[in-house]
Amino acid sequence: MKLRFLPLAVAVVACHKTASFTPSATDVGFPSSSATGAAVYSGDRRAPSFPDAWPYKAGRAAVFGQHAMVASDAPLASQAGVEILEHGGNAVDAAVAVGFALAVVFPEAGNIGGGGYMVIRMADGRTAALDYREVAPLAASRDMYLDEQGNLTNKSVVGPLASGVPGAIAGLTTALAKYGTMSLADVMAPAIRYAEQGFVVEGPFARSLTSNARLIGQFGGAGVFLPDGKPLAVGTRLVQPELAQTLHRVAEQGAPGFYTGKTAQLIADEMHRDGGIITTEDLARYKPVWREPIKSSYRGYTLLTMPPSSSGGITVTETLNILEGFVPVPPFGSAEYAHVLGSAYQRAFIDRNEKLADPAFAPVPMKQLTDKAYAQKLRATIGHDRATPTSSVAKTMREGMETTHYSVADAQGNAVATTTTLNALYGSGVYVRGGGFFLNDEMDDFAAAPGKPNMFGLVQGEANAIQPGKRMLSAMSPTIVLDRDGGLLLVVGSRGGPRIITSTSQVILNVLDQHMILSDAVSAPRIHHQALPDSLAYERNGLAPAVLDSLRQMGYGLEPIGGVGLINAIMRVRGGYEGMSDPRSMGRPVGY
């Protein structure tokens, strides 16, 4: 494919001020958005070729910002982040503002009743990972989701028993206190405004409410989101006074405004009404955990990513370590590339499924799984042109497919990658009456029936069994990539349960190995392999028919699926940042 070096690109860059951090040797090219709206391939960026039937064409324009960028699943939340940045806040201030705003304008996954993970890289070189994953309530027990015959019920998915103790408020306030520069009240102001003054329901939100009306209608949120039994229509202004009051209590009192007092009592009351087990004591005891990010290298680039209790960082790292030995990496879209990438995922997921859990409750072999020599041994088991069956695998996952990721980068080069979730869309469906928010169904991320097939016929591992106070294993993979000079290059993450790992890593690989511009890296078709089921999943129309034939001949079971993750990413380019929300999603970046 011919590269297009347009003179126009020079003009585009010439009118942007250079960002205040030092440019580095990685040649990520000019902003891809030219005055004509077409992508510009410059530096070492190359135009990829996608299959003819793939709906997202290469060469889309990303959003450009010369100072800073926020990419999230809700335009109003991205705007909230930019509002904070424009008022002098740093990337952490903005990320916290986005987190609160998502809880108001994107209630399907944005939340204060769930939890998440944040990876931070400050321009001065400090790095941190914050684990604010939910924990199992004190009254939780190993077999709480089994019926008298030992069969799995759906109580880990729907209703009050499905919720872990929420970590979101503790996480956001803790991150702000350590790395932010603004007051909690200031960064919460946009969210409180959206809740008090309302916002106009747009198509994606209305459709999401329609698809989830059955779940929402069973619990206290019905009156808010399904007035007269019907989902809010496009154009309706949604005002959430109870949520505004809950947010005010946090803005005024900090985390105790949620974990003690009125809000804690409202949560406990909601639980008691319907057989839930979270108590005010559970809430008062909740603590987020600062952890060291996993720091790994890939072909000279540095990855900073999330350690357990998420499996995301280890699994991304192990996959990339396996791939690093393939030189040159096969071309994008080829059967060889799908084979080596799928095989790397398969091996990393076998480890993920068997060995990872909350490190406070189970030994996690982090050093081994992120070791390059170990990856080399796994690489040696990948046949030249044959699929390897997944064998003797003790566990796979059934994480909810819905989560939300947002990325923030500021003018100093500070960066924050955050992934947060209620698990399923609208979580357990339980809505805290008087509090104005949904609670998660994160308990389903535990192995609810260790050693026995779950409702999907899968066998789950003992390490991730339910224990009081334990964090359930996650796949969330917020990641920051540094270039070969140690400068900020990418801020990236995804939603989609186990597909978070595969989608996040493929965007990174598309930029680092395939030299794509950000918009192509995010739009490109993706594959997924999670060891069990033992098949190579691919996005429908994402692999050319001849490639599918070759993979079949190699022995792959092939499964076309609707999508692999939804990305929100930022890349540093010459003169500023590009932001890209997945064309598969409703997200939109905002930069300035």
The amino acid at 575: G
CA–CA separation, 499 vs 426, rounded Å?
19
| Shortest spacing between CB 426 and ligand GLY, in angstroms | 13
Closest CB to ligand GLY among 130 and 475?
475
Residue partners of 68: CB distance under 8 A and separation at least 6: 82, 85, 91, 94, 408, 409, 410, 411, 577, 591, 592
| Shortest spacing between CB 59 and ligand GLY, in angstroms | 32
Question: Count of residues binding ligand GLY (CB under 6 A)?
Answer: 10
Task: Count CB-CB contacts under 10 A for residue 44.
Answer: 11
| Shortest spacing between CB 477 and ligand GLY, in angstroms | 9
| Shortest spacing between CB 311 and ligand GLY, in angstroms | 8
CA–CA separation, 432 vs 267, rounded Å?
6
Strands 536-539 and 558-561 come out as: parallel
Q: Which residue is nearest to ligand GLY (CB)?
A: 474
Helix (H, G, I), strand (E, B) or coil at 480: strand
Judged by CB under 6 A, the residue of 83, 186, 410, 445 near ligand GLY is 445
> Judged by CB under 6 A, does residue 421 bind ligand GLY?
yes
Closest CB to ligand GLY among 493 and 589?
493
CA–CA separation, 469 vs 167, rounded Å?
12
Beta strands in 458-497 (DSSP E): 479-482, 488-492, 494-495
CA–CA separation, 277 vs 219, rounded Å?
17
φ and ψ at 115, to 5 degrees? -160, -175
| Shortest spacing between CB 140 and ligand GLY, in angstroms | 17
Closest CB to ligand GLY among 423 and 502?
423
Report how far Cα 236 is from the mean position of its chain's Cα atoms: 29
Closest CB to ligand GLY among 164 and 220?
164
Cα–Cα separations (whole angstroms), residue 16 to 70, 104, 116, 323: 18, 34, 35, 37
Helix (H, G, I), strand (E, B) or coil at 487: coil
The H-or-E segment that residue 523 falls in is helix 518-523
Beta strands in 299-402 (DSSP E): 301-305
| Shortest spacing between CB 419 and ligand GLY, in angstroms | 8
Q: 18-38: string of b/e by CB count within 10 Å (b at 16+)? A: ebebeebebebbbbbbbeeee
> Judged by CB under 6 A, does residue 279 bind ligand GLY?
no
CA–CA separation, 577 vs 103, rounded Å?
26
Closest CB to ligand GLY among 73 and 399?
399
User: Candidates 58-66, 93-101, 387-395, 474-482 — which segment interacts with ligand GLY by CB under 6 A?
Assistant: 474-482
> Judged by CB under 6 A, does residue 474 bind ligand GLY?
yes
Closest CB to ligand GLY among 390 and 404?
404
Closest CB to ligand GLY among 78 and 403?
403
237: which 2 tokens?
């202004």
User: Candidates 232-240, 258-266, 470-478, 522-530 — which segment interacts with ligand GLY by CB under 6 A?
Assistant: 470-478
> Judged by CB under 6 A, does residue 427 bind ligand GLY?
no
Helix (H, G, I), strand (E, B) or coil at 397: coil
| Shortest spacing between CB 81 and ligand GLY, in angstroms | 22
Closest CB to ligand GLY among 72 and 302?
72
Judged by CB under 6 A, the residue of 110, 288, 497, 575 near ligand GLY is 497
The CA-based dihedral angle spanning residues 114, 168, 359, 392, taken in that order and rounded to the nearest 10 degrees: 30
Site for ligand GLY in 375-404 (CB under 6 A): 399-400, 403
Which sign, positive or negative, has the C-alpha torsion 444, 292, 527, 378? negative
Closest CB to ligand GLY among 393 and 476?
476
User: Candidates 345-353, 373-381, 468-476, 558-566 — which segment interacts with ligand GLY by CB under 6 A?
Assistant: 468-476
Closest CB to ligand GLY among 339 and 528?
528
Judged by CB under 6 A, the residue of 40, 476, 489, 558 near ligand GLY is 476
Q: Exactly one of 305, 370, 403, 504 is catalytic; name it.
A: 403
| Shortest spacing between CB 117 and ligand GLY, in angstroms | 9
User: Candidates 31-39, 92-100, 430-438, 469-477 — which segment interacts with ligand GLY by CB under 6 A?
Assistant: 469-477
| Shortest spacing between CB 330 and ligand GLY, in angstroms | 29
Q: Are 189 and 100 in contact (CB under 8 A)?
A: no
Q: Are 160 and 439 in contact (CB under 8 A)?
A: yes
| Shortest spacing between CB 3 and ligand GLY, in angstroms | 38
Window 160-199: contact mask with ligand GLY (x via CB under 6 A) = ----------------------------------------
CA–CA separation, 454 vs 153, rounded Å?
10
| Shortest spacing between CB 444 and ligand GLY, in angstroms | 8
Closest CB to ligand GLY among 264 and 348?
348
Q: Are 152 and 454 in contact (CB under 8 A)?
A: yes
Integer-rounded Cα Rg, in Å, for the chain is 23
Judged by CB under 6 A, the residue of 28, 94, 201, 475 near ligand GLY is 475
CA–CA separation, 117 vs 378, rounded Å?
29
> Judged by CB under 6 A, does residue 423 bind ligand GLY?
yes
181 is catalytic: no
φ and ψ at 581, to 5 degrees? -95, 150
Instruction: Give the residue numbers annotated as catalytic, written as ranges.
Output: 403
Task: Provide the binding-site residues for ligand GLY, judged by CB under 6 A.
Answer: 399-400, 403, 421, 423, 445, 474-476, 497
